[in-house]
Amino acid sequence: LDPKYEFSRRKLTNDVNELWNYIRSTETVKSEMKNFVKELKNSLLFDLDIIDKRDEKYRQNRLKSLSNYIQKQIHELQNPNDCKIAEKIVCTLNKGCGFGCQIHHLSYCMIIALATKRTLILNSKNWRYVNKIQRSPIIDKLSSSSQSSTTTSMWELAFKPLSENCLDDSGTSRTNWLNSIDHQHFDEQPSLQHRNVQVIDLPILDSLRPRPSYLPLTIPEEISSELKLLHGSPFVWFIGQILQYIMKPSKEIEQFLNEKRKQFQIEQQHPIVGIHVRRTDKINTEASFHSLSEYMLYVDDYFDRLELFQKRQNNETKTKRIVYLATDDSSVWKKEVPKFESKGYTFIGDSEISNTASVNRRYSFDSLKNIILDVWMLSETDFIVCTFSSQVCRLAYELMQAKNPGVDRSKDFFSLDDIYYFGGQNSHNQIAILDHDPMKDSEITLKRGDIIGIAGNHWNGYSKGINRVTQQNGLYPGFKTKEKIETANFELFKNFQQ
Ligand code: GDP
């Protein structure tokens, strides 16, 4: 594979979409012209897809073997020869937030564990999705098994344990992150960053001080050239690998998921577009309201593209337009879905789930099962339309990469608001590849090579950010930049050989 060719191939697809975003949202462009460009865009994407397919198998094999390597390394780290003397990182699942946010907390802990080559111990004793009444019989059951009493694992109600032989957080010495740091070696080799302490307790990411360079959106230096070559969003794929390891459903959850898969006839229904409508407590605090019609525009866009692809292959069959709907607002099912059903769309999903998902009824084991179901089903769809301001949707998108570890699924989403981010991440930067002279007051100047801190994509051809050279804040054409992907050493991947 030639890196230049691979990057250009992906940039072409990106730029075709940016061009479409620009035309679609420019008010002065007549609808007749928009329809023309839309068809042309889909036709371009079809040919790009064929170019994509030339080396697809080869790329898939390489990405799959990278995934196998990572899974094997994590498995070894999590199953040390002797748990009594293993160096450990302890992650406590008590963050006062929702499921997506908690899983991201655990993922960040795992990143630290991989970077420093320490076994991750999960303390889920006080997991809020399992309430007090549900907890006591479970504690009885778990404490009669081989569980360590200090970390008694509510986690195992939903997921397999993170280790087969090391769940115990005890050790001969223990301290919190800050006190474990050897400042002389900080930001050198991750293994040297810590004094000789066996067990380190982690705070939440937002209050981690000092902050090492391997925090999101950084990817491991050791695998970075391989990963950048093979995937359009290397960090998202990497987090997907972490999720693949940590989120292995327990027997009960697996059974529940299988029953629901059958009930929804998921396997027979593809292609499916997944929609996540996040409302209740999120609206006007962290996100704006979006009607179902707004989501449906992008559902249509997906199916229109698919139909054009089929026509170019001389296939005239009409694809059924199937949508998996996940939401925390049950009124979407009652008030907004019927209008689209009457237009021929089929909605699958469980309107009852949204009742347990609403803000007042969120924290119980039933609601935990339901959010796992929604996240799982969204990640198994062919395309997701959602708001990346929600951790639920970002989680589903990350898991989508893990479900198909060999396939680059980085483009299979549309977010109505934010670009992808990891809560508490280090700054997300881009590099200007073309100069830009502002055409309006709201735009900023770019000189090739400038570093730009990106804040968002307005999905109209423009992104918003700060030019770190001039400190100017404002809009710039997205196609004039490329991602600046940060890398740092991860002890666990030191032995990686391409
Ligand atoms: P965020 O607040 O949307 O960023 O994501 P969090 O996961 O941190 O918190 C939202 C919580 O609301 C979820 O974890 C669920 O418990 C609930 N929730 C939100 N949307 C859905 C949904 O579509 N389905 C279900 N079952 N629950 C949801």
Residue nearest to atom 11 of ligand 1 (CA): 98
CA of 281 relative to ligand 1 center, distance in Å: 10
Distance between CA 114 and CA 109 in Å, rounded?
9
Neighbouring C-beta atoms of residue 386, cutoff 10 Å: 26
Neighbouring C-beta atoms of residue 76, cutoff 10 Å: 12
Name, in order, each residue with C-beta under 8 angstroms of 248's C-beta and a sequence gap of 6 or more: 159, 160
User: Does the CB atom of residue 212 touch ligand 1 within 6 A?
Assistant: no
The atom of ligand 1 lying closest to the CA of 282 is: 2
The pLDDT tens digits of the residues spanning 203-238 come to: 999 999 999 999 999 999 999 999 999 999 999 999
Structure tokens belonging to residue 334: 């009652």
User: Does the CB atom of residue 396 touch ligand 1 within 6 A?
Assistant: no
Q: H-helix or E-strand containing 346?
A: strand 346-348
Asked if the interface predicted TM-score (ipTM) of this complex is over 0.95, the answer is yes
Distances (CA, A) of 83 to 88, 108, 154, 339, 473: 9, 22, 21, 58, 51
User: Does the CB atom of residue 274 touch ligand 1 within 6 A?
Assistant: no
pLDDT at 130: 83
User: Does the CB atom of residue 368 touch ligand 1 within 6 A?
Assistant: no
User: Does the CB atom of residue 386 touch ligand 1 within 6 A?
Assistant: no
The pLDDT tens digits of the residues spanning 188-204 come to: 889 888 999 999 999 99
CA of 453 relative to ligand 1 center, distance in Å: 28
CA of 374 relative to ligand 1 center, distance in Å: 9
For the purposes of burial, counting CB atoms within 10 Å of the CB of 260, is it exposed (0-12), middle (13-18) or buried (19 or more)?
A: buried
Q: Which of 93, 286, 328 to mutate to test the pocket of ligand 1 (most atoms within 8 A of CB)?
A: 328
The pLDDT tens digits of the residues spanning 423-461 come to: 999 999 999 999 999 999 999 999 999 999 999 999 999
Please give the order of strands across the beta sheet that includes 88-92.
119-123, 88-92, 199-201, 174-176
Asked if the model's pLDDT at residue 145 lies above 60, the reply is no
pLDDT at 339: 98
User: Does the CB atom of residue 330 touch ligand 1 within 6 A?
Assistant: no
CA of 352 relative to ligand 1 center, distance in Å: 14
The pLDDT tens digits of the residues spanning 155-170 come to: 999 999 999 999 999 9
pLDDT at 358: 87
DSSP string, 24-56: HH-TTS-HHHHHHHHHHHHHHHHHHHHHHHTTH
Asked if the model's pLDDT at residue 143 lies above 80, the reply is no
The atom of ligand 1 lying closest to the CA of 281 is: 2
Q: Angle of helix 221-230 relative to helix 3-25, nearest 10 degrees? A: 60
The predicted model scores a pTM of: 0.96
